[in-house]
Amino acid sequence: MPELEVKKVGMLGVGSMGAMLALLMAERGYEVYFWDPSEKNTSTLTTHSTTLHLTPRIHHSSTPSSLCASLSPPRVLLLSTPHGSAADRCIASLSPHLSPGDLVLDCGNSHWGATERRQHALAAQGVHLLGCGVSGGYQSARAGPSITPGGSAAALDAVMPFLRTLAARDGSGKPCVVRVGPGGSGHYVKMVHNGIEQGMMGAVAEAWLLLKRGLGLGHDEVGGVLRDWNDDGSSPLRDCFLVAIGADVERATDESSGGGGRHVVSQVRDTVVQDVDEEEGTGVWTCEEAVARHVPAASIVSAHLFRCASADLARRQRNRQSGNGGVSGQSLSVRSEEREQFIEALRTTTYFSFLACFVQGLDLIRQKDKDRGWGLDYREILQLWRGGCIIKASHITDLLERMFSRADHDPDDILSNPEVGHELARCFPAAKQVVLRAVEADLFVPVISQTLEYYKYETSTELPTQFMEAQLDYFGQHMFERKDDPVRGPTKGEHHFEWKPAKGSSDE
């Protein structure tokens, strides 16, 4: 399929993300025809386009059918709807009006498997669907997001020039969009991006708690620490989106009459609900995939479970009562002269956890890639994460880039590469110190502590699973390997010991 010269685009779903994408496209010179069942979101976009003088290029369509009639084939249609049945309904409303060669770009967080199902269904009418994850929240959707497209080579060829005009740019001006690969690989990589995001958000929230409640710093002081971590050019957390916005979050005050100049974050309840109300699915699916592909993504899974546990405050209140007042956490036992050193250890620990989340996420993508034969290019995937996305962390992507550029790197076990292995080893003592102090003070560190354990068990050759394996053989005759057997990777052992012969009442 030749490169498409795109002039007009359709936009289905103009909520938080879709509206900003519509404005971005209009600003970049495209004629945008949009439809959304929500009158409120329709009217909000209309107001924005008037204010920004983009009305001549943003047109409301009264139905999906009239939207398709406004575009001539081959059409380019972007979807930004909730995942699941809403995305299915949206595609069903379009499909009778599509022609062979049309391109549908699902920019929502759809499940990669649903994307492949829809790709097959639409292929029967000659229509191409790309699973095209978009990251960076609504601010990036407005300014230029990271875009993660996957699907047929022909559709990718056709649409890449258009996507490059919309994407975020990295520090050297290169667009943060690449051809990810076939089938649902685009949505798979976006899903893992969100899994890494959950891990990183957990780690930085724990660092926030240790600074705030652990050391007793005020919001502005914590904001200052995070700002330094992000801005210092030699910091391993330099140019990190979640650290930078953390500084903003800590400093924001509500100057409205009801706000009284208070820090906004101090008024936010500790409940993250978007996983348990199933508004978003990417965190759940990343964990499911990690378990199904046998990838020990401990930091990511722990971060996800922590969020799930946070969702129901009423439940936690009941548990607190039944647990004699529960556990709240106190100040850390850090003397004032040790404070700077502890803050430095905390920076190292946050970086340690962030890097581990990338390692776990890349191991997961690689495992899926091998299972499905997608043939992904990991340096290209890193390019997606260099700008416009939530997991942007420049020191980490630079380090991983060096690793993937080395011809003899091991793509199947990221931790085994010295660029990563040496770095985690260097940070381990700081992470251990932080976890010890946090546990002592009953402060919450589910992600940092799981990262520490992950690092320990992933680098040890003396695990207590030796005892577990013996028990499995005792009751289940599951067999075991002996220490003098050759090391062969995960293969079933050939030895059984008759720990206790099975006996019934008729045995002597």
Ligand X SMILES: O=C(CO)[C@H](O)[C@H](O)COP(=O)(O)O
Instruction: Give residues in contact with ligand X (CB under 6 A).
Output: 109, 135, 137, 194, 197-198, 274-275, 280, 282-283, 390
Binding-site size, ligand NDP (CB under 6 A): 26
CB of 13 to ligand NDP, least distance (A): 3
Determine, following the binding rule CB under 6 A, whether residue 286 of this chain makes contact with ligand NDP. no
Determine, following the binding rule CB under 6 A, whether residue 319 of this chain makes contact with ligand NDP. no
CB of 284 to ligand X, least distance (A): 9
The set of long-range contacts for 36-45, using a CB threshold of 8 Å and a minimum separation of 24, is 36/12, 38/14, 41/14, 41/15, 42/14, 44/14, 44/19, 45/14, 45/19
283 binds, among ligand X, ligand NDP, none (CB under 5 to 8 A by kind): ligand X
User: Which helix (H) or strand (E) segment is 58 a member of?
Assistant: strand 58-60
Known catalytic residue at 483: no
Determine, following the binding rule CB under 6 A, whether residue 44 of this chain makes contact with ligand NDP. no
Buried b / exposed e across 193-211, counting CB within 10 Å, b at 16+? Answer: bbbbbbbbbbbbbbbbbbb
CB of 145 to ligand NDP, least distance (A): 8
CB of 129 to ligand X, least distance (A): 19
* Residue closest to 33 by CA, chosen among 65, 59, 69, 12: 59
Which two structure tokens, joined as six digits, stand for 506?
């008729």
Whole-number Å distance between alpha carbons of 288 and 358 = 17
Nearest to ligand X of 276, 441 (CB atom): 276
Q: How far is CA 209 from CA 313, 443, 454, in A?
A: 18, 8, 22
DSSP string, 432-500: HHHHHHHHHTT---HHHHHHHHHHHHHT-S--THHHHHHHHHHHH---B--TTSPP-SS----B---SS
Candidates 11, 22, 26, 36: give the one binding ligand NDP (CB under 6 A): 36
Query: In Å, how far from its chain's centre is CA 213?
Result: 27
Determine, following the binding rule CB under 6 A, whether residue 348 of this chain makes contact with ligand NDP. no
Name residue, tokens 């095209």.
132
The stretch among 33-41, 225-233, 304-312, 417-425 that binds ligand NDP (CB under 6 A) is 33-41
The stretch among 131-139, 226-234, 283-291, 365-373 that binds ligand NDP (CB under 6 A) is 131-139
81 binds, among ligand X, ligand NDP, none (CB under 5 to 8 A by kind): ligand NDP
Decide if 153 contacts 344 (C-beta within 8 A). no
Determine, following the binding rule CB under 6 A, whether residue 80 of this chain makes contact with ligand NDP. yes
Nearest to ligand X of 37, 137 (CB atom): 137
197 binds, among ligand X, ligand NDP, none (CB under 5 to 8 A by kind): ligand X
Q: How many other C-beta atoms are found inside a 10 Å radius of the C-beta of residue 496?
A: 13
Known catalytic residue at 432: no
Q: State the alpha helices, DSSP H only, in 99-167.
A: 112-123, 137-143, 153-166
Determine, following the binding rule CB under 6 A, whether residue 198 of this chain makes contact with ligand NDP. no
* Set 3, 39, 174, 197: catalytic member: 197
Q: How far is CA 160 from CA 3, 76, 140, 155, 157, in A?
A: 8, 12, 19, 8, 6
* Set 116, 190, 423, 458: catalytic member: 190
The stretch among 82-90, 168-176, 270-278, 336-344 that binds ligand NDP (CB under 6 A) is 82-90
CB of 167 to ligand X, least distance (A): 14
Residues that bind ligand NDP (CB under 6 A): 12-18, 36-38, 41, 80-83, 86, 89-90, 93, 108-109, 134-135, 137-138, 280
